[in-house]
Amino acid sequence: MSTLIQNVGSNDIRKTAEVLEKHEFTIEKELGRGTSRRTFLVKNTDGDLFVVKEVNYRDNETLNRVKNEVSILNKLRHGYIVTYEDSFEESENFYIVMEYCVKGDLSKIMKAQKNVGMFEEKQILDWLVQICLALQYIHENNVLHRDVTPQNVFLTEDGYINLGDFGCAKALSSPVCPEVYQQRYNSKSDIWSFGWLLYYLCMLDVWSNKTERRRLHDNSMAGNTPEISEMYSLDLQILIKQMLSCDLKDRPSAEEILAEPFLKEAVKRNKRISIELEQTFIRALNAFNKAYNAHYRDFKALVDEWGETTDSLEDMHYSTTAGSLTGAAIGTAGGITAVVGAILAPFTFGASLIVAGVGIGVGVAGGVTGAASNITKTARDKSLRQKIEKLMQDYQSVSTPILDSLKTVRRVMRKIIKFQSFVSSSTFNNVQMGLRLGRTTVAGVTEFITLGMLASFGRIAVQSANIGRVVAAASGVLSGILVIVDVVFIVKDSREIHEMRQHWRNDDPDKVTSDVLKSIAQMRKTYKELCTVLQDIHKTREELNSHISQSRD
């Protein structure tokens, strides 16, 4: 449980933490709260950060608004819109899981900028185009945002905009456009709110003064558009005034704004996968290739050793006779139960830890008289123990660099997928895209991201996430090997020997009833899963590098 939850005595926070943990999220911190909603920064089991919005619905109207937002978010996939991840409902609370934008909302950036000066026009134009592309997309999908304000525009760690908060249990914010009073809200109404946002970006001193903001808004309702600093181009000043026009006919659409000649270069820069994101992908793929070349062979050798060790443990267990263990069978039963808990814990998400606790509590009441010689012989077999100890140490050192670098590649791919709508196939045989990755070399060749590469990113991202989960679970299984090696030879009776004969080299824990045999079967099952993981890691690397190579040909 996170430090936040440990330090907060509030039962409602604890209840929220318990609900989120059921869905494999851990609360990192609370980001904010309102009358009926709270937002949290959470982390999943892969270490990825997300924002969870918790909405308390006490009536059907609130619930319907929440479900409407989820319905909207679920169908929107765009480079400049916050990505919806998941949602679930429990105890009169609705939870929406969304992409986390590291740099916070635009209002925080504006507050910080006010202390050092005005925004450069190039920065404003980039944000203008990014937000406008998002509005164009949602308007084409018959969605109205209704609340385009600095608080609902977020910045990613790569510095580009994400439009978010699509009105969940929330009234319209000021300034309110004229047609709202006439109940004629349409896509041009979003342009009005957007125009005020741009005005505030240009006039930070006005934005920070609530009284002045209210005065200017009241004047604009009478057709008096506010003046903009002359440090910005006349083209930008005219566009903002058009966006703030009370007459819908004079207010441009998102499409018309993007067609403005003075925005041509900004549109060209932003209607594509950003250079920064492309460079991030190149660095991530280079790091993955480097880790693969340095550690993959050793990782494979360790997995092979895992399989050999599992077979050795089963052989040792089988070769022991039941007759020499008469006095020890009862006494060691608790220890065996504890070992099973340790081995199976990563696969039962903690439930078997209860079994482990019970086993440890049983103790060794029966003594070890009948098995003293065998215990002494096996427990002191230093070569086997040292082999397992080294296996444990080396496993982390060779798997971690590969998995960490692959995880970074996966995270970047998820970001790039959002921009897929900006990439269209060439009419000339689906060849090179106009999205340069730069001159940095990846596996000897890079030049373009191709449409085929983007199409495969989703599948590769899912595959790499599964790789991480299997290897992490295997670490938990591996940690139990040193315990089981000291008791693995303890056979309860002849029935267990018969069960071993019936299920020799078994990899399904459900096929056997013996606790020790279940543990060995789980180890063998994990070994086979790791063999698959090795193949997936190799295929992932080959596919990514092949895509880049083909795009240059």
What average pLDDT does range 60-67 have in this prediction? Answer: 81
Higher pLDDT: 313 or 21? It is 21
Tell me what pLDDT residue 354 has. 28
Catalogue the E-assigned strands of 65-157.
84-90, 93-99, 153-155
381 noted as active-site residue: no
Q: Which token pair is 259?
A: 């067609």
Residues near 327 by beta carbon (within 8 Å), at least 6 away in sequence? 366, 367, 368, 369, 370, 371
Beta bridge partners, 55, equal: 37, 94
What average pLDDT does range 144-171 have in this prediction? Answer: 82
Tell me what pLDDT residue 521 has. 81
DSSP result, 415-460: HHHTTGGG----TTTT---S-B--S--STT---B--HHHHHHHHHH
Least confident of 108-122, 249-263, 461-475: 461-475
Higher pLDDT: 117 or 332? It is 117
CB contact at 8 A, 526 and 343: no
- Distance between CA atoms of residues 382 and 394, nearest Å: 18
Most confident of 305-314, 379-388, 440-449: 305-314
In the structure, what pLDDT confidence band is assigned to residue 74 with cuts at 50, 70 and 90?
A: confident
What average pLDDT does range 166-178 have in this prediction? Answer: 48
Checking if the pLDDT of 272 tops 60, the result is: yes
Tell me what pLDDT residue 321 has. 40
Map tokens 């397992």 to a residue. Answer: 388
Tell me the CB-side half-sphere exposure of residue 87, using CA atoms within 13 A: 19
In the structure, what pLDDT confidence band is assigned to residue 223 with cuts at 50, 70 and 90?
A: confident
List the domain boundaries for the chain: 3-99, 106-270, 275-323+385-552
Tell me what pLDDT residue 274 has. 79
The DSSP call for residue 244 is: T
- Distance between CA atoms of residues 136 and 188, nearest Å: 11
Query: In 225-381, where does DSSP find H-type helix?
Result: 234-243, 254-258, 264-270, 275-319, 333-348, 351-362, 372-379
Higher pLDDT: 91 or 171? It is 91
Checking if the pLDDT of 206 tops 50, the result is: yes
What average pLDDT does range 92-112 have in this prediction? Answer: 94
Checking if the pLDDT of 334 tops 50, the result is: no
Map tokens 């089988």 to a residue. Answer: 318
Higher pLDDT: 471 or 293? It is 293
- Given the residues 46, 86, 147, 507, select the one marked as catalytic: 147
Q: How many CB atoms lie within 10 A of CB 539?
A: 12
Checking if the pLDDT of 218 tops 50, the result is: yes
Checking if the pLDDT of 98 tops 80, the result is: yes
In the structure, what pLDDT confidence band is assigned to residue 364 with cuts at 50, 70 and 90?
A: very low
Tell me what pLDDT residue 444 has. 32
Cis peptide before 175 (omega within 30 of 0): yes
Q: Is the dihedral of CA 163, 405, 479, 500 positive or negative?
A: positive
Least confident of 14-23, 197-206, 290-299, 447-456: 447-456
Phi/psi of residue 245, each to 5°?
A: -65, 140
Least confident of 229-233, 412-416, 439-443: 439-443
- Distance between CA atoms of residues 96 and 84, nearest Å: 8
Tell me what pLDDT residue 501 has. 60
- What distances in angstroms separate CA 229 from CA 119, 202, 474, one per listed residue? 11, 7, 61
Tell me what pLDDT residue 61 has. 78
Right CATH for 106-270 from 3.40.710.10, 3.40.50.150, 1.10.510.10, 2.60.40.1180: 1.10.510.10
Tell me what pLDDT residue 338 has. 40
Among residues 483, 476, 467, the alpha carbon closest in space to that of 534 is found at 467
In this prediction the pTM is 0.77
Tell me what pLDDT residue 179 has. 55
- Distance between CA atoms of residues 472 and 209, nearest Å: 52
Tell me what pLDDT residue 431 has. 30
Average pLDDT of the chain?
A: 77
- Distance between CA atoms of residues 194 and 107, nearest Å: 14
pLDDT in tens, 32-50: 888 788 999 999 988 899 9
What average pLDDT does range 160-166 have in this prediction? Answer: 90
Least confident of 84-88, 98-102, 219-223, 234-238: 219-223
Map tokens 């199976």 to a residue. Answer: 344
What average pLDDT does range 364-372 have in this prediction? Answer: 35
Residues near 202 by beta carbon (within 8 Å), at least 6 away in sequence? 118, 119, 124, 228, 229, 232, 236, 240
pLDDT in tens, 108-148: 999 999 999 999 999 999 999 999 999 999 999 888 888 89
Least confident of 127-141, 237-251, 405-419, 480-494: 480-494
pLDDT in tens, 370-387: 333 344 444 435 566 677
Checking if the pLDDT of 487 tops 80, the result is: no
Beta strands 25-33 and 161-163 are unpaired
Angle at which helix 515-552 crosses helix 275-319, to 10 degrees, equals 150
What average pLDDT does range 138-164 have in this prediction? Answer: 92
Beta bridge partners, 97, equal: 52, 86
Tell me what pLDDT residue 9 has. 47
> SS3 sequence, 166-220?
CCCCCCCCCCCCHHHHCCCCCHHHHHHHHHHHHHHHHCHHHHCCHHHHHHHHHHH
Residues near 514 by beta carbon (within 8 Å), at least 6 away in sequence? 492, 496, 499, 500
What average pLDDT does range 511-530 have in this prediction? Answer: 79
CATH number attached to the domain at 3-99: 3.30.200.20
CB contact at 8 A, 401 and 354: no
Among residues 63, 53, 56, the alpha carbon closest in space to that of 25 is found at 53
High-pLDDT (> 70) share of the chain, %: 69
Q: How many CB atoms lie within 10 A of CB 72?
A: 19
Among residues 468, 359, 509, 440, the alpha carbon closest in space to that of 47 is found at 468
- Distance between CA atoms of residues 272 and 257, nearest Å: 17
Higher pLDDT: 503 or 202? It is 202
Checking if the pLDDT of 319 tops 70, the result is: no
Burial zone of 336 (CB within 10 Å; 0-12 exposed, 13-18 middle, 19+ buried): buried
- Three-state DSSP state, 59: coil
High-pLDDT (> 90) share of the chain, %: 40
Checking if the pLDDT of 169 tops 50, the result is: no
The helix or strand, by DSSP H or E, that contains position 477, with its residue range, turns out to be helix 451-478
Least confident of 111-120, 180-189, 238-247, 308-317: 180-189
Checking if the pLDDT of 254 tops 50, the result is: yes
CB contact at 8 A, 250 and 385: no
